[in-house]
């Protein structure tokens, strides 16, 4: 039997370990990119929810304001004042141009 060449075994083991480390680093890089993408999406979602929350808080603060109530009645419920006449332009497009109040 030939004597084991420990130098070759060590080189092969080192090469295997280096390949393993390189592969692990590449996997970690992909995982980091996915997490970063998720973080950006969550930040955008947070901004949207904060804006929505602010809008809801303003509605709560204005719920007793008569002008706000009138605006809601006119815009969302299509209500009019007594004896008020609504004129519609026959040449105007049939698209509703009022901003969405969701």
Q: Where are the domains of the chain?
A: 6-77
pLDDT for 59 equals 83
6-39 pLDDT, tens per residue?
Answer: 889 999 999 999 999 999 999 999 999 999 999 9
Looking up tokens 């070759």 gives 8
pLDDT for 102 equals 46
Q: Is residue 46 pLDDT above 60, yes or no?
A: yes
Query: How far is C-alpha 14 from the geometric centre of its chain's CA atoms?
Result: 46
* 98 touches 75 (CB < 8 A): yes
Q: Is residue 94 pLDDT above 80, yes or no?
A: no
79 exposed, middle or buried (CB, 10 Å; 0-12, 13-18, 19+)? exposed
pLDDT for 99 equals 53
The whole-number average pLDDT for the span 65-88 is: 83
Task: Go through 14-38 and write b for each residue having 16 or more CB atoms within 10 A of its CB, e for each that does not.
Answer: eeeeeeeeeeeeeeeeeeeeeeeee
pLDDT for 1 equals 46
Q: Is residue 101 pLDDT above 60, yes or no?
A: no
* 72 touches 102 (CB < 8 A): no
pLDDT for 93 equals 67
69-80 pLDDT, tens per residue?
Answer: 888 888 888 888
pLDDT for 68 equals 83
């Amino acid at each position: 039997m030939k004597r084991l060449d420990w130098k070759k075994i060590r080189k092969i083991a080192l090469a295997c370990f280096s390949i393993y480390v390189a592969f692990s680093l590449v996997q970690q890089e992909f995982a980091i990119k996915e997490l970063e993408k998720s973080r950006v999406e969550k930040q955008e979602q947070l901004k949207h929810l904060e804006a929505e929350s602010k809008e809801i808080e303003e509605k709560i603060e204005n719920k007793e304001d008569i002008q706000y109530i009138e605006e809601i009645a006119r815009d969302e419920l299509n209500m009019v004042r007594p004896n008020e006449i609504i004129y519609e332009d026959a040449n105007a497009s049939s698209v509703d141009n009022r901003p969405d109040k969701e």
